[in-house]
Amino acid sequence: MVKMKLKYKTIVYLVIIVIIVSAIFTYIIINYIKKNQERVTSCKYLNNDRYNEIIDPIYLIDCFNIFSIETADFFEDGKKINAYIIRDNKNNYGFAIIKDLKQYKIVNDYLYVYETLIARSESYTRVKYNQGDWQYPREYYINGNIQKILYKSPNDFPQYLKVEISSGEIILYNNYSSMPEEIKQIFQELENSI
């Protein structure tokens, strides 16, 4: 009889523990979903059509002003490369791919992005016009329009981007000597953080 009561108590305690753990787990999941839905709905310019009206919050890392940062993983030689794309949702295009979330920061209404190459040249989009050499196109919002710039190599892509956070206007820098001192400091901090 005593053994029966002990087994009964053990089962009751286990059931109570399972219920408590399930309740905590459910609470965490509901909170996570709610926070991600708030992030998606607060992203004013997010283009839902890209996701067939369903945005998976796992892919949306951050959203502020007209920008979103989303996962953009890809494969090279059978290896997964983790990356993030920075999108201008107002002008509906992606303008930078970064490997680390420490490669961008906002200072005084500007988004600063330190963009390094994350793959071999062949992995980047390239085009060939007529019988010419391969060219690597990039798009940037400059002077009120999205402009396509063709580069001979991904090594020629600008690494330093200064973006006005309300309009999306981009200023491109290839090296430190072409930028003002206060901007140079910001990019050096980004470069040293990774």
Judge whether 31 lies within some domain.
Answer: no
Beta strands in the chain (DSSP E): 60-64, 67-71, 74-76, 79-81, 84-88, 93-98, 104-107, 110-114, 127-128, 134-142, 145-151, 160-164, 170-173
In a domain, 113, yes or no: yes
The pLDDT assigned to 56 comes to 55
Q: Is residue 116 part of a domain?
A: yes
**C-alpha closest to that of 146 among 167, 123, 129, 124:** 167
Host domain of residue 102 = 48-193
Is residue 105 a part of any domain in this protein?
yes
pTM of the model: 0.74
The answer to the question of residue 61 being in a domain is yes
Q: Does 30 fall in a domain?
A: no
Q: What stretch of H or E contains 190?
A: helix 181-193
Count of structural domains within the chain: 1
32, part of any domain: no
* 15 occurs within a structural domain: no
Across the chain, mean pLDDT equals 84
Write the pLDDT tens digit of every residue in 130-176. Answer: 777 888 899 999 999 999 999 998 889 999 999 999 899 999 999 99
